[in-house]
């Protein structure tokens, strides 16, 4: 009941981009190796070897691409999974780190300066990049493409009609790419270059502004934001921890279900408020009539019970949901 009430009152919807506004089903389109001794196939095999036991869209895309070219497993030490950053292991005594630019450049102190031109070109093309470091040097990058959900713009437009005042997107993309996506979808505000640890803070900031916040996410690092929002909504293919911490879990892998849920919540609360106001109003009139002698005790009892039965019947018919 609290979730329905919170969703009905939510006036600000915050979306994590990948896996919510996009399908979250990545595909490898380019592999760049920056070392002559590593071919593109070897770079892909190395990355897939470290990532193959992790059920994440990026890892799944890498392993799928490696298998398509004949996956050859490269022996490595135990893999350390660093939440919201990437993975780390050792191959032949040399450290291998795989993950975001922030992870490699800021945390692992790996220089990107020699390859900025290639990286910028791929980012400007709208591709998602996975960075691979080997022995404290940038070994290569793997470029992947994610596709926007076909009904994303339609869903956001419907949310506006349902009373949502502001639509916000959180993404780790660079500002230019994020602004382009926001323009295509009609999003009001975008937070680009967003680190996983930033999301919960942004939710808190919006709440401090007096907004009623709904957050939609699917990843492990979305769990704190799903908890902090007034109402958290997890996608059907989301991580288990995201589903466990969300107030509402979608049963279909369809962003349109968010608008359907909002519509249900709005109509449910409208029905509840209508019935409550009718109960107070009608019973007040019956009580006033009985007080001034307009109704005898039997008539008063019949009217009171009739009102209760009528409002109960009105509640039982439920709400009608329009076509998506």
Residue 321, pLDDT > 70, answer no
Long-range contacts of 125-130 (CB under 8 A, 24+ apart): 126/177, 126/180, 127/29, 127/30, 128/18, 128/26, 128/58, 128/173, 129/101, 130/47, 130/58, 130/62, 130/98, 130/99
Domains and CATH numbers, the chain: 1-24+148-324 (3.40.50.1000), 27-145 (3.40.1110.10)
Collapsing DSSP states into helix, strand and coil, what is residue 109? Answer: coil
Collapsing DSSP states into helix, strand and coil, what is residue 271? Answer: helix
Which pLDDT tens digit goes with each residue over 225-242? 999 999 999 999 888 899
Query: Which residue out of 11, 16, 173, 222 is catalytically annotated?
Result: 16
19 vs 211: which has the higher pLDDT: 211
Beta partners for residue 96, in sequence order: 89, 134
Residue 46, pLDDT > 50, answer yes
Question: How is 244-269 classified by DSSP, letter by letter?
Answer: HH-SEE-SSS-THHHHHHHHHHHHHH
The distance from CA 160 to its chain's CA centroid, rounded to whole angstroms, is: 18
C-alpha span between 34 and 138 (Å, rounded): 7
The distance from CA 55 to its chain's CA centroid, rounded to whole angstroms, is: 17
* Distances 238 to 128, 308, 314 between C-alpha atoms, Å: 19, 43, 36
In this prediction, residue 292 carries a pLDDT of: 86
- Decide: 256 and 162 in contact? Cβ < 8 Å: no
The whole-number average pLDDT for the span 124-138 is 93
Q: Which sign, positive or negative, has the C-alpha torsion 122, 126, 130, 133?
A: positive
List, in order, residues 6 or more apart from 259 with CB less than 8 Å away. Answer: 155, 158, 159, 162, 324
Residue 44, pLDDT > 60, answer yes
16 among known catalytic residues: yes
* Residue tagged 């892998």 (tokens): 253
pLDDT band, residue 104 (cuts 50/70/90): very high
Q: Whole-prediction pTM value?
A: 0.80
- Please list the alpha-helical segments (H only) found in the chain: 2-9, 40-51, 57-68, 101, 116-124, 152-161, 175-185, 198-208, 223-228, 240-245, 256-291, 297-316
pLDDT band, residue 322 (cuts 50/70/90): low
Backbone angles phi, psi at 39, to 5 degrees: -75, 170
DSSP 75: P
Which pLDDT tens digit goes with each residue over 135-182? 999 999 999 998 999 999 999 999 999 999 999 999 988 888 889 899
C-alpha span between 31 and 37 (Å, rounded): 15
The whole-number average pLDDT for the span 306-317 is 80
C-alpha span between 212 and 48 (Å, rounded): 42
Q: Pairing mode, if any, of strands 27-33 and 12-16?
A: unpaired
């Amino acid at each position: 009941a609290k979730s329905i009430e919170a969703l009905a009152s939510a006036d600000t919807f915050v979306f994590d981009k990948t896996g919510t506004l996009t399908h979250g089903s990545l595909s490898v389109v380019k592999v760049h190796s920056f070392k002559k001794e590593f071919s593109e196939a070897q770079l892909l095999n190395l990355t897939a070897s470290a990532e193959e036991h992790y059920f994440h869209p990026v890892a799944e895309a890498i392993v799928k691409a490696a298998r398509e070219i004949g996956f050859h497993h490269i022996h490595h030490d135990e893999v350390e999974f660093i939440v919201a950053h990437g993975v780390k292991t050792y191959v032949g005594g040399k450290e291998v780190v795989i993950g975001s630019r922030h992870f490699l450049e800021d945390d692992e102190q790996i220089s990107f300066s020699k390859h900025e031109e290639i990286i910028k070109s791929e980012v400007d093309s709208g591709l998602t990049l996975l960075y691979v470091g080997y022995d404290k040097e940038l070994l290569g990058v793997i470029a992947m493409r994610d596709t926007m959900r076909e009904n994303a713009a339609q869903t956001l437009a419907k949310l506006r009609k349902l009373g949502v005042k502001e639509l916000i997107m959180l993404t780790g993309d660079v500002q230019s790419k994020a602004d382009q996506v926001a323009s295509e979808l009609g999003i009001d505000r975008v937070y680009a270059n967003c680190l996983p640890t930033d999301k919960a803070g942004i939710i808190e900031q919006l709440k401090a502004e007096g907004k009623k916040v709904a957050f939609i996410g699917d990843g492990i690092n979305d769990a704190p934001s799903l908890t902090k929002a007034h109402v958290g909504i997890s996608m059907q293919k989301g991580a288990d921890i995201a589903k466990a911490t969300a107030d509402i879990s979608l049963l279909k892998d369809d962003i349109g279900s968010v608008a359907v849920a909002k519509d249900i919540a709005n109509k449910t609360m409208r029905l509840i408020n209508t019935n409550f106001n009718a109960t107070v109003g009608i019973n007040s009139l019956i009580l006033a009539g009985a007080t001034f002698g307009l109704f005898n005790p039997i008539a008063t009892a019949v009217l009171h019970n009739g009102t209760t039965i009528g409002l109960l019947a009105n509640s039982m018919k439920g709400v009608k949901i329009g076509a998506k």
